[in-house]
């Protein structure tokens, strides 16, 4: 299986080299470039240097743009989505994700802004689990628990990247090899994450992973969305979550194992509600995994987020069984973000499609164990549009 994945990656590399040379170095003007000269947005992918890590490692940033002007910038450090510019109802572009202007902010102090999270998104209680009779101890980085892959998760490593262009989309495929024993996990794990933006104004994130030993894997994307372009907090955003149940947690935010109904509680977003309307009744704010009614990208809508002031709407569909709704409770305004903006509590919210937190310790949850010889595949689509 590893061989197959390597072969597929090598084939993709060969295909991409030709494209990469012309798309990235821009040696001669393309028909699309002349369209831009005429004031028409074009599909494009380009690569620039974003900065250097303290050890000198170079970090690149890819800018993807579609025919409607939607633009995503993603860097090789943490495969982090640095910015996502989306039009409002009058066509004005605004950046709908929190982050920093420069690499330094991401390296020094990043509460997972825009990152790919792994090997295991969210918490594993006490950083321990048992698999095939063996007890594994993971790095502990959140009180006594393991969070988002540990001390140096996938959000803090430099990924390899390959741009790609297809008839209706542009993208970048990021790959990373997580070694046997990294942060305490068993087995070598090859991970590929493909970000694409389509001319239908979708940001698609697809994941593939293969391991040479059984290991827990739970990959997710950790953007903090603010559809008002960061103009105000997200308490006025309207949210719909297609989930009749959620997984209640204890004081350490570890699931109790129960799948509880949301009906009649402030957790209920089955009909659209503003986030601020009942947040005061939820101790600490929202930071919960919802059990999606239907995990199906073709027909199952997982979430819809709307900002009435800008008219921007984002719909999420996914193949994952859960979604973590985190209302930015730990943002405390101490870190100046993009343009010097101060991100206070509830300035952004995360909708992380995922398997349930602490699944390796809950046999009643859908399994997160990836077996050798199998390939994990997962897809999440963020679709943007506006309403009056």
Of 148 and 204, CB closest to ligand BGC? 148
Q: Residue with structure tokens 């860097």?
A: 75
Smallest distance from ligand BGC to CB 122, Å: 6
Asked if 352 is an active-site residue, the reply is yes
Give the span between the Cα atoms of 210 and 214, in whole angstroms. 10
Size of the residue set binding ligand BGC (CB under 6 A)? 10
- 3-state SS, residue 323: strand
In the chain, what is the straight-line distance between the N-terminal and C-terminal CA atoms, in Å? 49
198 makes contact with ligand BGC (CB under 6 A): no
Per the annotation, the verdict on 237 as an active-site residue is no
**Sites for ligand BGC among residues 294-353 (CB under 6 A):** 324, 326, 330, 350, 352
Q: Do 342 and 290 touch, CB atoms closer than 8 A?
A: no
Q: Rounded CA gap, 113 and 99, in Å?
A: 6
- Among 45, 253, 301, 351, interactor with ligand BGC by CB under 6 A: 253
What is the DSSP code (8-state) at residue 361? Answer: G
Binding residue for ligand BGC, selected from 94, 99, 111, 171, defined by CB under 6 A:
111
In the complex, least distance from residue 335 CB atom to ligand BGC, rounded to whole angstroms: 12
- Residue closest to ligand BGC when measured from CB atoms: 111
Spatial distance between the Cα atoms of 80 and 82, rounded to a whole number of angstroms: 6
| DSSP 8-class letter at 359 | G
**For 223, how many CA atoms within 13 A lie in the half-sphere containing its CB?**
21
Interaction between residue 233 and ligand BGC (CB under 6 A): no
**155 belongs to the binding site for ligand BGC (CB under 6 A):** no
Closer residue to ligand BGC in complex, CB, 66/324: 324
Residues 6+ apart with CB under 8 A from 181: none
Among the options 222, 288, 346, 382, which is catalytic? 222
Positions marked active-site: 222, 352
Residues that bind ligand BGC (CB under 6 A): 111-112, 122, 253, 287, 324, 326, 330, 350, 352
């Amino acid at each position: 299986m590893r061989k197959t994945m390597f072969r597929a990656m090598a084939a993709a590399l060969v295909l991409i080299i030709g494209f990469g040379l012309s798309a990235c170095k821009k040696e001669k003007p393309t028909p699309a470039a002349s369209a831009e000269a005429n004031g028409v947005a074009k599909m494009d992918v380009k690569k620039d240097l974003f900065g250097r890590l303290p050890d000198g490692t170079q970090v690149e940033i890819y800018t993807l743009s579609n025919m409607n002007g939607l633009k995503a910038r993603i860097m090789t450090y943490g495969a982090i989505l640095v910015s996502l510019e989306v039009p409002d109802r009058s066509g004005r572009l605004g950046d709908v994700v929190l982050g920093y202007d420069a690499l330094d902010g991401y390296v020094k102090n990043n509460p997972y802004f825009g990152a790919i999270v792994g090997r295991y998104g969210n918490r594993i209680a006490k950083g321990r689990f048992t698999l095939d009779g063996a007890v594994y101890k993971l790095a502990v980085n959140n009180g006594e628990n393991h969070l988002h892959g540990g001390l140096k998760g996938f959000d803090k490593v430099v990924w390899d990247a390959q741009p790609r262009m297809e008839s209706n989309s542009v993208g970048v495929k990021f790959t990373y090899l997580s070694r046997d024993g990294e942060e305490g996990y068993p087995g070598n794990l090859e991970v590929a994450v493909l970000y694409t933006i389509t001319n239908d104004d979708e940001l698609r994130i697809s994941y593939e992973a293969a391991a040479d030993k059984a290991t827990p894997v739970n990959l997710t994307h950790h953007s903090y969305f603010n559809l008002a372009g960061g103009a105000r907090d997200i308490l006025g955003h309207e949210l719909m979550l297609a989930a009749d149940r959620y997984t209640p947690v204890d004081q350490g935010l570890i699931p109790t194992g129960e799948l509880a109904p949301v009906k009649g509680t402030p957790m209920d977003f089955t009909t659209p509600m503003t986030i601020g309307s009942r947040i005061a009744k939820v101790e600490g704010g929202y930071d919960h995994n919802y059990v999606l009614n239907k995990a199906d990208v073709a027909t199952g809508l997982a979430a819809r987020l709307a900002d009435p002031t800008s008219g921007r709407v984002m719909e999420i569909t996914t193949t994952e069984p859960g979604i973590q709704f985190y209302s930015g409770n730990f943002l405390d305004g101490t870190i100046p973000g993009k343009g010097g903006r101060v991100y206070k509590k509830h300035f952004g919210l995360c909708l992380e499609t995922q398997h349930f937190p602490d699944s390796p310790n809950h046999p009643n949850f859908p399994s997160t164990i990836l077996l050798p010889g199998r390939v994990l595949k997962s897809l999440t689509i963020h679709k943007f549009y506006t309403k009056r």
